[in-house]
Structure 1
Amino acid sequence: MGGVSRVARKQSPGVLGDRRRWVLEGQVDVEPEAGGSTKSKGSRQFLKDKLPRAGLKEFWYPAARAKAVGEKPIAVKLLGDEVALFRDGGKVHAVHNRCPHRGLPMSMGKRHFPGTISCGYHGWTFDMKGNCVAALNEGPCSRLPGRVNLRTYPVEERSGIVWIFMGDKAPKPIEEDVPAELLDKDAITYFHVENWDFNWLPGLENLMDTHDLFVHRNSPFYLFTKIPAWAEVGSEVMADGRGVAYHYSKVGPLQEDYPGLGKWPKRVWWRRKRIAAPSGEYLTAELRLPGITRVGFTTLMFIRYMVPIDENSCRAFLFSTRRVTGIRALFYRAYYHLWASWSLLKLFIGQDTVVFGAQDYDAPEQLSAPDNGIIKWRRILASFAAAEAGQGDGGSGGRKISKIDVAAA
């Protein structure tokens, strides 16, 4: 069973009948770390302790709206690092936001010469590759040029977003990390950006359960949707080992009788639309590295990019996209501005943020059957975090990503 601690719990007759459900405690057997760690396989550790609280470095992330970046540098913080963004000759560049001399933010600097940026404290000047080319306070004979460097970051400007690669290795093609819909020039894509005062992890994991049947039941976005009383969840590690696919494998009736309690939820006449994905099947979704949720609705594709600012805050890029042309494009634009922009991106997501902000992510957990995707996701994330720390290869080449068996006994 992949080393997952399980405690059998008898359920009352009714929705689940006499079947047993396994309760996952959120603990796994952590395999030995590379380099001769004294921790043996089978030692009990909370998997959450292995998660990267400030995110994974070796990936592309959205950094800022492209139109917000001009020739004057601006400061952006992500994954615990401060970055200065600016344009030179129309092209966006990114450098570490602290001068190597005395630590003044480079976003407070100026661009006195084409192809350079100068610190606003002593005038140390760097080219677009991060090489020091002058120290204005020391004059043309300064010995600093060629001896000092400022870190630079690979950037690309796509679909109105400045994307940045935060890793130390050579950047992979951006198409390997970013969902194809967000790079599709023919798609109609809208996005909204919010800063949230909590860690990025809860904002991802909430996709992999059935909270929408409870938290979002009365959301305007689901106002006319037939929301079942309960659902069974299926999840599978994706073929490339970089994400988890999630779906409702079975949904219950619109109202259920809970023995000793009564019927729930209250039936209403106006719910007419079946909860579904574009394929016509029950709702399907994906959770992918480095921090992407991708959910297909009948009317649009919703993508949430969670970007850690630091261990205590994050930035959410909320995308709504659809590839349509002609009169359908006109209807989609109207639908987004008149309905989805506030019912989904404001009110629906607003319900989520209330939960995220109140959740104690470090509290002990007793996970249940619908949370099977969360366990799989945490194992993937921990595996890639170990690889970045030099303790594994990541993905299928690093620690094993075992299937979590949560089948009923």
Structure 2
Amino acid sequence: MTTFDQVSDTASEQSTSGAATKWPRYLDATLGFDNHWHPAAFGHELGEGEFLSVTLLGDKVLLTRANGVVKAIADSCAHRGVPFSKDPLCFKAGTVSCWYHGWTYDLEDGQLVDVLTSPGSPVIGQISIKVYPVQEAKGLIFVFVGTEEAHALSEDLPPGFLDEDTHSLGIRRTVQSNWRLGVENGFDTTHIFLHRNSALIESNRLALPYGFVPADRDAMQVFDDGWPKGVLDRLADNYMPVFEAKFDGETVFAANLTGEEKKVAAQISVWVPGVLKVDPFPDPTLIQYEFYVPITETQHEYFQVLQRKISSPGDAEAFAVEFEETWVPDALHAFNDDDVWAREAQQNFYGERDGWNNEQLFPPDLCIVKWRMVASDRARGVRSARGAKA
């Protein structure tokens, strides 16, 4: 593990923009990390024979479900470049036809298998478009973006996410900020000050402090051998929670604790290519996972997933009702809306005002520093507006 002082002594390198930095590949990854699995949608969003267009790391991808299996293909016809998703056509399961001139592709390998407006055309079998590996797990559709052979899905997910005795439910929405601001907002140990007036704290009787003072500078554990790779911060064991805020020696505000409040966020971790795990949250019976998937350099898709251990179909049904009635409005919106607001408020500074070189970090930001370094050193590939590189 690396202390904050050791981080400060680490030699800087240059990003492709020419900036001196201790995390050059992270700084270059304006569109995320290539050669990793990323969630594209929830399974319930895609019925049999339906189509759904998504953008992952700048790639426009068309999803469809054929014979129960999700397929992903580039959302652009090789002929004149129009997106299939404007009016997707399927005349035979396992294929997609372009609405413009009838060019028809096999969803398995992307090969052009027919041209409906020119039978026997010489281009048939000579042209193909990109297809993407797909896996469906825990209610999510994951797409592998990159040029390498797809590795195991588990390598890009936090430990425990794929546990068989769990059930996951979630929502997704588009946030107007770079994806890195999403990851760092979620992992920031002192950003909880932002949530000080959240209705969730009172409605669910949470013991959520205004901030944390580290008791152990080596509180974080870095996982950089094997996969998945990430940083784990044990808040419950290595930090002193701050429940009273003082200014100039006088109490500004304080939490009125009774001792009966629920304790949450015992540990928070973040994993390559950009997945947060808060254990437990927003209730001791739940774990919250957040995925921040780059769309453009100024937008990311925000996947908010709650997971609970279950032992029967009845447990899953009860969770679904509770999810819709309580956790979506009170936690995933009322509470996390604060986070969305904060990320979008940062976008101008980091996107237009060279914030990566002008930010002023302080010791509690060690968690962010460690995440940047692990991601920069260990992510498989980098995607930016200038293209992908190793």
The secondary structure found in structure 2 opposite 1:215 is: helix
Number of aligned residue pairs: give it: 359
Distance (Å, rounded) in 1 between the aligned partners of 2:78 and 2:251: 65
Q: Are the aligned partners of 1:225 and 1:271 in contact in 2 as well (CA < 8 Å)?
A: no
> Partner amino acid for 1:123?
G
Which segment drifts farther, 303-312 or 223-232? 223-232
Distance (Å, rounded) in 1 between the aligned partners of 2:27 and 2:274: 16
Which residue is equivalent to 1:268?
Answer: 256
Superposition deviation, residue 294 in structure 1: 0.3
Superposition deviation, residue 137 in structure 1: 2.4
Which residue is equivalent to 2:114?
Answer: 134
The secondary structure found in structure 2 opposite 1:358 is: helix
Which residue is equivalent to 1:300?
Answer: 286
More helix by share: 2
Compared CA separation, residues 31 and 328, structure 1 to 2 (3 A)? same
Superposition deviation, residue 116 in structure 1: 2.1
Superposition deviation, residue 164 in structure 1: 0.9
> Partner amino acid for 2:172?
V
Compared CA separation, residues 312 and 268, structure 1 to 2 (3 A)? same
Distance (Å, rounded) in 2 between the aligned partners of 1:267 and 1:94: 49
Which residue is equivalent to 2:386?
Answer: none
**In the alignment, which of 351, 366, 369 is matched to residue 372 of structure 1?**
366
Which residue is equivalent to 1:118?
Answer: 97
**In the alignment, which of 8, 11, 17 is matched to residue 29 of structure 1?**
11
Superposition deviation, residue 199 in structure 1: 1.0
Q: Are the aligned partners of 1:28 and 1:45 in contact in 2 as well (CA < 8 Å)?
A: no
Distance (Å, rounded) in 1 between the aligned partners of 2:91 and 2:380: 43
Which residue is equivalent to 2:73?
Answer: 95
Unaligned runs of 5+ in 1: 7-21, 278-282, 399-409
Distance (Å, rounded) in 2 between the aligned partners of 1:352 and 1:75: 26
**In the alignment, which of 243, 255, 259 is matched to residue 254 of structure 1?**
243
1:177-235 CA deviation, whole Å, 9 max, x = no partner?
A: 23454434432221111111111111111233333441112222222333445422432
Compared CA separation, residues 148 and 365, structure 1 to 2 (3 A)? same
1:236-277 CA deviation, whole Å, 9 max, x = no partner?
A: 31253721111332214533654x341242342557426345
Which segment drifts farther, 54-63 or 218-227? 218-227
**In the alignment, which of 167, 172, 176 is matched to residue 151 of structure 2?**
172
Compared CA separation, residues 294 and 101, structure 1 to 2 (3 A)? same
Which residue is equivalent to 1:195?
Answer: 174
Superposition deviation, residue 130 in structure 1: 0.9
Q: Are the aligned partners of 2:246 and 2:253 in contact in 1 as well (CA < 8 Å)?
A: no
- Paired-residue identity, %: 28
Q: Are the aligned partners of 2:293 and 2:301 in contact in 1 as well (CA < 8 Å)?
A: yes
Q: Give the TM-score of the pair, scaled to structure 2.
A: 0.81
Unaligned runs of 5+ in 2: 384-388
Q: Are the aligned partners of 2:56 and 2:295 in contact in 1 as well (CA < 8 Å)?
A: yes
Q: Give the TM-score of the pair, scaled to structure 1.
A: 0.77
Compared CA separation, residues 148 and 253, structure 1 to 2 (3 A)? closer
> Partner amino acid for 1:254?
F
Distance (Å, rounded) in 1 between the aligned partners of 2:2 and 2:233: 20
1:302-334 CA deviation, whole Å, 9 max, x = no partner?
A: 000111111111111111111133687677556
Q: Are the aligned partners of 2:287 and 2:306 in contact in 1 as well (CA < 8 Å)?
A: yes
**In the alignment, which of 288, 293, 307 is matched to residue 321 of structure 1?**
307
Which residue is equivalent to 2:272?
Answer: 289
Which residue is equivalent to 1:206?
Answer: 185
Distance (Å, rounded) in 1 between the aligned partners of 2:84 and 2:91: 13
The Cα RMSD (Å) is: 3.3
Establish whether residue 221 from structure 1 lines up as the match of residue 200 from structure 2: yes
Distance (Å, rounded) in 1 between the aligned partners of 2:259 and 2:198: 12
**In the alignment, which of 128, 135, 140 is matched to residue 161 of structure 1?**
140
Which segment drifts farther, 224-233 or 199-208? 224-233
> Partner amino acid for 2:75?
N
Q: How does 1:27-106 map to 2 (within 5 A)?
A: 29-31=11-13, 44-45=20-21, 47=23, 50-69=27-46, 70-106=48-84
**In the alignment, which of 375, 378, 383 is matched to residue 381 of structure 1?**
375
Distance (Å, rounded) in 1 between the aligned partners of 2:153 and 2:379: 20
> Partner amino acid for 1:71?
G
The secondary structure found in structure 2 opposite 1:29 is: coil
Q: Are the aligned partners of 1:52 and 1:385 in contact in 2 as well (CA < 8 Å)?
A: no
Superposition deviation, residue 67 in structure 1: 2.8
The secondary structure found in structure 2 opposite 1:198 is: coil
The secondary structure found in structure 1 opposite 2:268 is: strand
> Partner amino acid for 2:134?
V
Q: Are the aligned partners of 2:220 and 2:231 in contact in 1 as well (CA < 8 Å)?
A: yes
The secondary structure found in structure 1 opposite 2:65 is: strand
Q: Are the aligned partners of 1:228 and 1:251 in contact in 2 as well (CA < 8 Å)?
A: no
Which segment drifts farther, 228-237 or 101-110? 228-237
Compared CA separation, residues 57 and 106, structure 1 to 2 (3 A)? same
> Partner amino acid for 2:31?
A
1:150-172 CA deviation, whole Å, 9 max, x = no partner?
A: 11111122233221111111111
Distance (Å, rounded) in 2 between the aligned partners of 1:300 and 1:203: 21
Distance (Å, rounded) in 2 between the aligned partners of 1:144 and 1:58: 30
Q: Are the aligned partners of 1:51 and 1:385 in contact in 2 as well (CA < 8 Å)?
A: no
Which segment drifts farther, 365-374 or 83-92? 83-92
Establish whether residue 238 from structure 1 lines up as the match of residue 217 from structure 2: no
Which residue is equivalent to 1:340?
Answer: 327
